[in-house]
Amino acid sequence: MKVVTGVVGNDVHVVANRLIDISLDERGFEVFNLGVNTYLEEFMDAVIETDADVLLISSLNGEAEGWCRDLSLMKKQYDFSDVVFMIGGNLGVGEMNADELDSKYKAYGFDLVFHQVDLNIGLDTLENFLKEHA
Amino acid sequence: MSLLQREREIIVQNEYIDRFDFAEVEEFIKNASKNLFISHKFKTSTEMLVQPRGGFPTYDKVHELYKEFKGSNVDVLPLTIDSNTRLNDYAHAKKMLALSEENDVDMLNGYPLVNHGYRTTRKMITHYDTPVSLRHGTPDARLLVEIALASGIFEIEGGPITYLLPYSKNFPLDKAFLYWKYVERVTAKYSELNEPINRESFGPLSATMQPPAIVLVIQLLEMLLSLEEGVKSFSVSFSQTGSMTQDIVSSNVLRKLARKYADQFGHSDATINLVYHQWMGAFPYNKSYSDSLINTSTVIAAMVGADKIITKTRNEAFGIPTKEANALAVANVKYTLNMLKGLPKISDAEEEENLTNMVDEILEAVFNDSADTLWRKVFNSIKKGYIDIPFSPHIINANEVITVRDSESNIRIYKKGSLPISEKSFAYERSKIKLAEGERVVDKIIQDIGIML
């Protein structure tokens, strides 16, 4: 399984990105880590170039929404039907309601949304999701 | 017209700002209230200054935030800038500012100062008549700093190393150096008009397992680069390491070496201040634990005799705090500090000797670089990996140094990469590290990063 990952927008928080990379690798995924400060267009290009199964976007600074609002538009430009779109981290500026964020990001086109959820729980959920949709 | 002034005229020709009036700004700074200068506050205050972090997208919310802080008797106000402005993406900042204003939702993690402009922002700053510190993370801060100074913000955080290697993926090193030289020069120039403008380095770096030797080397180098351009008031800083001993040792060595090197380089007229950042790593989700962490770090700040403390809040794990929570944190820190006056000095001679040796060894290698200026020596040293910041996102950072915690939580150098430290110093570091039988270093690092969770 191939995963493209990185931190969206003008966010440079690198620590969790490194940990995500290591954790995905340990779980046997082939990881394409675009690192911090990556724009949505670059993620989509990388998914196409690597023929990835999963796009795992992370965000810490809370600004992800401003960068991901156009995801559904971009998904229409190419056949991404077999790609799982996942986002996790701090998904809002300030203290937010996780359920509200969940439905908001799903409306933008994400399959899996994790606001302030432990990394391993998020990755367990991803693996189960992939099994169910295999 | 000087070369610098010509460059400044070009920098302020920007589609996102209003006309910039240099003569008016100079007049404003010349006649500005002394209360706006933190350098003046450092001189006249006998107590540790307390400064929170904070910034919201809209003018009104920052105004409200400052009002709340003043209610907590804050000493220094912060102005934290959003991530887009930090990377000179004023177009995105503008769009998100408009969305924040229309929908009453914060779409930015700070205040887009360039888009707001200095005429508006200055009204707020002069209204509160309190020193404001510019907190950002900008490799090219030329326009931002022009606007900050014109707004009455007389403390500028950052530097060519500390706002590049921890804050950017691929911003060119040579450009960042030139752009920060500009910032130092503008700051120095305005410092002649009234009280000095204070420059502050950013010691926390990537805030993850930073070895004190590297932190101190970078603090001292940024200090020297800044003083060389004519800055007269400078703050060196570092953040809580997770070990009280290491914090105290770092502080003692940093204070001693900052004065020593400043004098040695002919800057005995410069004032050097020490700033302590409360824990900058990942915070616990349990807010009672956060309270305990914050209180402990306030105690440490008092023990190290910091001139200023920069605070965190119990909401840290959850995102940017509300103005109420943030102001409460300031009040609590001030309350705790009130119990901590006249503490005895403590030290650990062996640890101080080892840290001093490592810092001197790295600095010696930097100074011995064959380049003709300090700026170029530092530039080369980063490329050679003499300066290597663990967990930097930047492509030019060597990323060879690996650190782990010893049994007393001190951060130790496990792999030295290209750090020019002696075998003796490195052996001392290694002698403190005890890995359990079969323990993998990567698991140890993950555990050590999350020490406060």
**Which of B108, B168, B317 faces A12 most closely, judged by CB atoms?**
B168
Q: Which residues of B touch A10 (CB under 8 A)?
A: 83-84, 86-87, 89, 92
CA A124 to chain B, closest CA, distance in angstroms equals 18
The three-state DSSP-derived secondary structure of chain B is: CCHHHHHHHHHCCCCCCCCCCHHHHHHHHHCCCHHHCHHHHHHHCCCCEEECCCCCCCHHHHHHHHHHHHHCCCCCEEEECCHHHHCCCHHHHHHHHHHHHHHCCCCCCCCCHHHHCHHHHHHHHHHHCCCEEEECCCCCCHHHHHHHHHHCCCEEECCCCCCCCCCCCCCCHHHHHHHHHHHHHHHHHHHCCCCCCEEECCCCCCCCCCCHHHHHHHHHHHHHHHHHCCCCEEEEEEECCCCHHHHHHHHHHHHHHHHHHHHHCCCCCCEEEEEEECCCCCCCCCHHHHHHHHHHHHHHHHHHCCCEEECCCCCHHHCCCCHHHHHHHHHHHHHHHCCCCCCCCCCCHHHHHHHHHHHHHHHHHHHCCCCCCHHHHHHHHHHHCCCCCCCCCCCCCCCCCEEEECCCCCEEEEECCCCCCCHHHHHHHHHHCCCCCCCCHHHHHHHHHCCCC
What is the rounded CA–CA span in Å between residue B208 and residue B371? 31
Chain-centroid distance, C-alpha B186 = 19
Whether B216 maps to a domain, the answer reads yes
Query: Considering the domain boundaries, does residue B342 fall inside one?
Result: no
Interface predicted TM-score of the whole assembly (ipTM), two decimals: 0.81
Are B169 and A36 in contact (CB < 8 Å)? yes
Residue B322 contacts A, CB cutoff 8 Å: yes
> Using an 8 Å Cβ cutoff, are B284 and B452 in contact?
yes
**Residue A50 belongs to what domain range?**
2-132
Amino acid identity of B432? K
Count of domains in chain A? Answer: 1
Is position B409 within any domain? yes
Could you give the number of structural domains in chain B? 2
Contact indicator for B139, B83 with CB cutoff of 8 Å: no
**Same domain (yes/no): B255, B168:** yes
Are B411 and B314 members of one domain? Answer: no
Tell me whether residues B320 and A10 touch, CB distance under 8 A: no
Decide the pairing of beta strands B411-415 and B402-405.
antiparallel
* Nearest by Cα to B325 from B336, B311, B337: B311
Q: What is d(CA B249, CA B348) in angstroms, rounded to the nearest whole number? A: 7
- Name every chain B residue with its beta carbon within 8 A of the beta carbon of A41: none
User: Catalytic positions of B, please?
Assistant: 86, 157
A133 is catalytic: no
* Same domain for B172 and B25: yes
Q: Which residues of B touch A90 (CB under 8 A)?
A: 318-319
* Residues on chain B touching A66 (C-beta within 8 angstroms): 92, 95-96, 99, 107-108
**What mean pLDDT do residues A20-42 have?**
95
Which residues 71-130 of A have a C-beta within 8 angstroms of B? 90, 92-96, 116
Domain contains B253: yes
Burial of B157 (0-12, 13-18, 19+ CB in 10 A): buried
> Out of A10, A15, A17, whose CB is closest to B449?
A15
Say if A59 is an interface residue toward chain B (CB within 8 Å).
Answer: no
Residues 414-453 of B with CB under 8 A from A: 442, 446, 449
Q: Give me the CATH number covering residue B42.
A: 3.20.20.240
Residue B137: list chain A partners with CB under 8 A. Answer: 12
Neighbours of B346 (CB within 10 A): 12
Q: Residues of A52-80 as b/e, b for ≥16 C-beta within 10 angstroms?
A: bbbbbbbbbbbbbbbbbbebeeebeeeeb
State which of B337, B366, B390 marks the end of a domain.
B337
First and final C-alpha spacing in chain B: 56
Measured between CA atoms, how close is A132 to chain B, in angstroms?
30
Quick check: B391 contacting A, CB < 8 Å?
A: yes
- With an 8 Å Cβ cutoff, are A37 and B84 in contact? no
Residues B248 and B301 in one domain: yes
What distance in Å separates the CA atoms of residue B281 and residue A27, rounded to the nearest whole number? 26
B318 and B380 co-located in one domain:
no
Assigned token pair, B77: 């106000």
Name the token pair of B277.
Answer: 């950042």
Examine the domain organization and report whether B97 and B7 are in the same domain.
yes
Is there a contact between A66 and B208 if contact means CB atoms under 8 Å apart?
no
User: Do B405 and B262 belong together in one domain?
Assistant: no
Per CB-CB distance under 8 Å, the chain A contacts of B107 are 63, 65-66, 93
In a domain, B124, yes or no: yes
Give the whole-angstrom CA distance, residue B149 versus residue B75.
19
The residue among B286, B313, B337 that closes a domain is B337
Contact A96 B320 (CB under 8 A): no
Quick one: B428 and B303 in the same domain?
no
So what's the pLDDT on residue A134? 81
Structure-token pair, residue A127 = 């693996």
Asked, for residue B344, whether it belongs to a domain, the answer is no
Identity of the residue in B167, B168, B319 whose CB atom sits nearest the CB atom of A90 = B319
In terms of domains, do B131 and B227 share one? Answer: yes
CATH number of A48's domain? 3.40.50.280
Report yes or no on B247 lying in a domain.
yes
Confirm if B282 and B319 have CB atoms less than 8 A apart.
no
Interchain CB distance below 8 Å, A15 and B99: no
pLDDT digits (tens, 9 = 90+) for A63-75: 999 999 999 999 9
Domain boundary among B337, B363, B396: B337
State the residue for tokens 């001030």. B334
**Mutate which of A11, A15, A27, A70 to test chain B, going by most B C-beta atoms within 10 A?**
A15
Distance CA B138, CA B86 (A): 4
B449/A37 Cβ within 8 A: no
Residue written as token pair 């950013």 = B202
Q: Do both B161 and B259 map to the same domain?
A: yes
Range of the domain at B9: 3-337
Q: How is residue B236 written in tokens?
A: 């060196």
Cβ atoms of B23 and B105 within 8 Å: the answer is no
B359 with B328, same domain? no
Please write the tens of the pLDDT for every residue from A74-107. Answer: 999 999 999 999 999 999 988 889 999 999 999 9
Closest chain A residue to the Cα of B92, Cα to Cα = A66
> With an 8 Å Cβ cutoff, are B315 and A62 in contact?
no
B343 inside domain: no
DSSP code of residue A93: S
pLDDT per residue as tens, chain B (453 positions): 899 999 999 999 999 999 999 999 999 999 999 999 999 999 999 999 999 999 999 999 999 999 999 999 999 999 999 999 999 999 999 999 999 999 888 999 999 999 999 999 999 999 999 999 999 999 999 999 999 999 999 999 999 999 999 999 999 999 999 999 999 999 999 999 999 999 999 999 999 999 999 999 999 999 999 999 999 999 999 999 999 999 999 999 999 999 999 999 999 999 999 999 999 999 999 999 999 999 999 999 999 999 999 999 999 999 889 999 999 999 999 999 999 998 999 999 999 999 999 999 999 999 999 999 999 999 999 999 999 999 999 999 999 999 999 999 999 999 999 999 999 999 999 999 999 998 888 889 989 999 999
Nearest CA in chain B to A14: B393
Identify whether residues B135 and B206 lie together within a single domain: yes
Of A35, A63, A95, the CB nearest to B315: A95
The length of chain A is 134
Distance separating alpha carbons of residues B142 and B178, to the nearest angstrom: 10
Local structure of A64: helix, strand or coil: helix
Q: Do A63 and B96 touch (CB under 8 A)?
A: yes
**Nearest chain B residue (CA) to A20:** B446
